Amino acid sequence: QQVAERAHPGLLSLAIALGAGTAGALSLTSGADEALVGVMIAVALMPPAAAVGLGIAYVDPTLAVGAGVLVLVNLLSINVAGVATVWLRRYKPTHWYDAREARRLTGRRLLLFGLAILVLTSFLATSSLAARENAQFERTVERVAETSTDNLLSVDFEYEANLLTQQPHSVTVRVYDADPPPAAALRERIREETGTNIRVRVVSERISVS
């Protein structure tokens, strides 16, 4: 599950990376424990980098591309947060001409990094919007299933992943009675409620009572 989440990261990943970069820069500039830098790398960079490796190893382009975008976003965000933190804490060269050049380079880097993050954030925004829509879809399907039978056990969802989002592929409704609701009727109700034509399977399971 954690690896799958790296394939479709959301906007929360950007906030985590910015926080990690700020914490790392503060630890270096304030004389705090430098172990925070290692924590920053472990939190923001290592998990998605490992997911990229898994995506390449298992020939999963969706995972490799999604996690790769997350690595780039995190790396750029850490740099932006770090440079901005150092600049706000007024770290600068001793000589005035070096300070002027440092301000110019800092502004240029922040602008370039910010533009790159803005472009990559569109990927995160699309993924976040799709995740929100899928959550709403699941709540609606669960409500339809609950009103269709009094013996509902669970509702399981399967998704078809692409480079940007995950689309609902099928729904499995598990009940514990001998006369489950017809799958065709459930599929029609789900289509009416969500506007999505999806494969529905109804599984009747026996519950043993000791």
Model confidence over 64-88: pLDDT tens digits? 888 888 888 888 888 888 888 877 7
Per DSSP bridges, beta strands 152-161 and 166-175 are antiparallel
Q: Average pLDDT, stretch 40-56?
A: 84
Residue that terminates a domain, selected from 130, 153, 188:
130
Q: Average pLDDT, stretch 41-58?
A: 85
User: How many C-beta neighbours within 10 Å does residue 123 have?
Assistant: 19
Residues 39 and 120 in one domain: yes
Residues 121 and 136 in one domain: no
For the chain, give percent helix, strand, coil, nearest 5. Answer: 65, 10, 20
Write out pLDDT tens, residues 96-114.
556 677 777 878 888 888 8
Residues 56 and 139 in one domain: no
Q: Residue 70 domain-assigned?
A: yes
Domain count across the chain: 2
Helices (H), 59-95: 61-88
Beta bridge partners of 168: 159
Determine what percent of the chain is predicted with pLDDT higher than 90: 11
**What is the C-alpha separation between 154 and 113, in angstroms, rounded?**
46
Greatest mean pLDDT range, 18-22, 31-35, 176-180, 200-204: 200-204
Write out pLDDT tens, residues 123-154.
888 888 888 898 999 999 999 999 988 888 89
Residues 28 and 93 in one domain: yes
pLDDT at residue 115 tops 60: yes
Which amino acid appears at position 156 of this protein?
D
CATH code (residue 181): 3.30.300.30
**First and final C-alpha spacing in the chain:** 34
Q: Residue 120 domain-assigned?
A: yes
**What does the angle CA 38 – CA 45 – CA 57 come to, to the nearest 5 degrees?**
130
Q: Residue 209 domain-assigned?
A: no
Classify residue 105 by burial, with Cβ atoms within 10 Å: 0-12, 13-18, 19+. Answer: exposed
pLDDT at residue 18 tops 90: no
Q: Residue 84 domain-assigned?
A: yes
Domain region containing 165: 132-204
Residues 13 and 58 in one domain: yes
Q: Residue 34 domain-assigned?
A: yes
| Side-chain-facing half-sphere of 146: CA atoms under 13 Å | 6
Residue labelled with tokens 């729904």: 171
Average pLDDT score, the chain:
82
Q: Average pLDDT, stretch 21-32?
A: 74
More confident call, 59 vs 100: 59
Classify residue 197 by burial, with Cβ atoms within 10 Å: 0-12, 13-18, 19+. Answer: exposed
Residues 123 and 137 in one domain: no
Residue that terminates a domain, selected from 85, 104, 130:
130
Residues 86 and 169 in one domain: no
Q: Average pLDDT, stretch 192-209?
A: 83
Closest by CA to 174, choosing from 199, 197, 150, 204, is: 204
Residues 111 and 22 in one domain: yes
The confidence score (pLDDT) of residue 166 equals 81
